[in-house]
Amino acid sequence: MKILIVRLSSIGDIILTTAFTRLLKKKFPFAQIDFLLYKPFKLIYEYNPNINHLFTIEKNIPDYTMNQIKDGIIQNQGRYDLIFDLQNNAMSSKFTKDLGVELLKVDKRRAYKLKLVWLKSGKGEDYKMIHDVYTETLLGFDVYDDNLGLEFRLSGEKEMKNYPPLSKIYQKKELYNISVAPGAHFKTKQWGHVNFAHLIRKLNHISQSVTLFGGVNDISLGEKIKELNPDTINLCGKTNLEETCRQIDNTDLLITNDTGIMHIAAARKIPTLAIFGSSVRELGFEPYAVPNVILETELWCRPCSHIGRRSCPLIHFNCMKKITPQFAFDSTVSFLNQVYNQ
């Protein structure tokens, strides 16, 4: 059997497919399982032992180029027996259409999201984590979750015995190494550099080190925080994806907004404290299969979007403003005691 999985973007969404891929490989151990994604996210599956071939494409390529790539893959690998479209959007459909094979698409749960965002209702009715949404496409194959969580393997970690997160032990310490990811693509998912700076100042009493992580778009943010906390290690914009993973492995806690690095930490089994503003856990993107706590404010206007906005539609931005640095610090101490006192 030949199986193709398609999930083109983004970091968090692709990491959330890794448990799905492992479960599929366990069900069909002798199948050829291939994966297609956008080139910038290649590392997420480059060393994954559950796939045979990894295919990458550039973003926003024209239709004729997509068809050429599709024809080339089919010519080299032969026709697939089964395709899982875990993206289920216009771009992934360009690749998966007209192949004449069984195609299973993930349920995007659009009606559920619209109900949450626009009607502010349904929070407790049909809550599913995105991992579970992916796994539902396997229900017809009698596949059940193994509860091993997500995977993000780096070079030298293809073998189970060489994958450090599987042997993660949470041991109590006097002082903790803490990582902080202050950035996010959308403004309504950003707690703000001033809040993070105040929190880090308080964390200095319980931390051995505090390290900032982020991409090139977070360089200015990291500089502002370090200016207010000179002892902070600022790696914003200074590490690639693999270096970020290896650095996070050396920390005991990640404090982050609702963004991709949160799922990296989950895959590397790093306890995570996440700050949710315009997003809510009911959208399904909370840290999966790792100790975690989510800080959020109960407001009638949340969520205002299923992905985030560039500004608060009601101006007040209370979803973030009401989460104070003192509350975040108290929650951090409580969470650390809970995780590392077991």
Could you say which of 124, 153, 182 is where a domain stops?
153
The total of structural domains in the chain comes to 2
For the residues 25-34, what does the mean pLDDT come to? 96
For the residues 236-245, what does the mean pLDDT come to? 95
Q: What pLDDT, on a 0 to 100 scale, did the predictor assign at position 60?
A: 87
* Residue 159 located in a structural domain: no
Q: What pLDDT, on a 0 to 100 scale, did the predictor assign at position 164?
A: 86
pLDDT over 60 at 331, yes or no: yes
Please tell me whether residues 50 and 90 are part of one structural domain.
Answer: yes
Do 319 and 278 contact (CB within 8 A), yes or no? yes
Please tell me whether residues 145 and 171 are part of one structural domain.
Answer: no
Please tell me whether residues 37 and 76 are part of one structural domain.
Answer: yes
State pLDDT tens for residues 161-171. 788 888 888 99
For the residues 209-213, what does the mean pLDDT come to? 98
Q: What pLDDT, on a 0 to 100 scale, did the predictor assign at position 206?
A: 96
Please tell me whether residues 275 and 147 are part of one structural domain.
Answer: no
Cα separation, 268 vs 264, whole angstroms = 6
Cα separation, 117 vs 279, whole angstroms = 9
Cα separation, 297 vs 319, whole angstroms = 6
**Strand 272-275 and strand 82-85: pairing?**
unpaired
Please tell me whether residues 201 and 109 are part of one structural domain.
Answer: no
Cα separation, 31 vs 27, whole angstroms = 9
Collapsing DSSP to helix, strand or coil, 334 comes out as helix
Please tell me whether residues 307 and 274 are part of one structural domain.
Answer: yes
pLDDT over 80 at 122, yes or no: no
Could you say which of 153, 188, 213 is where a domain stops?
153
Which residue type occupies 94?
K
Please tell me whether residues 143 and 205 are part of one structural domain.
Answer: no
**Residue 228 CA to chain centroid, in angstroms?**
29
Please report how many Cα atoms fall inside a 13 Å half-sphere around the Cα of residue 36, on the Cβ side: 24
What is the rounded end-to-end Cα distance, in angstroms, of the chain?
A: 44
Token representation of residue 141: 């194959």
Q: What pLDDT, on a 0 to 100 scale, did the predictor assign at position 290?
A: 96
Please tell me whether residues 179 and 133 are part of one structural domain.
Answer: no
* Residue 158 located in a structural domain: no
Please tell me whether residues 135 and 240 are part of one structural domain.
Answer: no
Q: Helix and strand tally (H, E) in the chain?
A: 13, 11
* Residue 265 located in a structural domain: yes
* Residue 116 located in a structural domain: yes
Q: What pLDDT, on a 0 to 100 scale, did the predictor assign at position 325?
A: 98
Cα separation, 307 vs 325, whole angstroms = 24
Q: What pLDDT, on a 0 to 100 scale, did the predictor assign at position 204?
A: 94
Residue ranges with strand state E in the chain:
2-6, 32-38, 53-57, 82-85, 102-105, 176-181, 207-212, 233-234, 253-257, 272-275, 292-295
List, in sequence order, every residue forming a beta bridge with 34; answer none if it has no partner: 4, 53
For the residues 20-37, what does the mean pLDDT come to? 96
* Residue 162 located in a structural domain: no
Please state the φ and ψ torsions of residue 117, each to the nearest 5 degrees: -75, -45
pLDDT over 90 at 101, yes or no: no
- The DSSP secondary-structure symbol of 156 reads T
Please tell me whether residues 122 and 195 are part of one structural domain.
Answer: no
Residues in the chain: 342
* Residue 21 located in a structural domain: yes
pTM of the prediction?
0.94
70 falls in which pLDDT band (50, 70, 90)? confident
Please tell me whether residues 182 and 263 are part of one structural domain.
Answer: yes
Collapsing DSSP to helix, strand or coil, 74 comes out as helix
For the residues 288-308, what does the mean pLDDT come to? 95
* Residue 83 located in a structural domain: yes
Angle at 240 between CA 235 and CA 246, to 5 degrees: 75
Cα separation, 194 vs 192, whole angstroms = 6
Backbone Cα Rg of the chain: 21
Q: For residue 111, give every residue at least 6 positions away whose Cβ sits within 8 Å of its Cβ, in sequence order, or none.
A: none
For the residues 155-184, what does the mean pLDDT come to? 90
Could you say which of 109, 131, 153 is where a domain stops?
153
Question: What is the spatial order of strands in the sheet that 207-212 belongs to?
Answer: 233-234, 207-212, 176-181, 253-257, 272-275, 292-295
- For residue 231, give its domain range: 167-340
Cα separation, 299 vs 330, whole angstroms = 21
* Residue 262 located in a structural domain: yes
Token representation of residue 138: 């396997």
75 falls in which pLDDT band (50, 70, 90)? confident
Which residue type occupies 85?
D
pLDDT over 60 at 342, yes or no: no
Mean pLDDT estimate for the chain? 93
pLDDT over 60 at 279, yes or no: yes
321 falls in which pLDDT band (50, 70, 90)? very high
Please tell me whether residues 58 and 199 are part of one structural domain.
Answer: no
> What own/partner pairs with CB < 8 Å and gap ≥ 24 does 239-247 have?
239/213, 241/11, 241/43, 241/44, 242/43, 242/154, 242/155, 244/213, 245/152, 245/154, 246/154, 247/179, 247/211, 247/213
Collapsing DSSP to helix, strand or coil, 148 comes out as coil
Which CATH number fits the domain that encloses residue 90? 3.40.50.2000
336 falls in which pLDDT band (50, 70, 90)? very high
pLDDT over 80 at 137, yes or no: yes
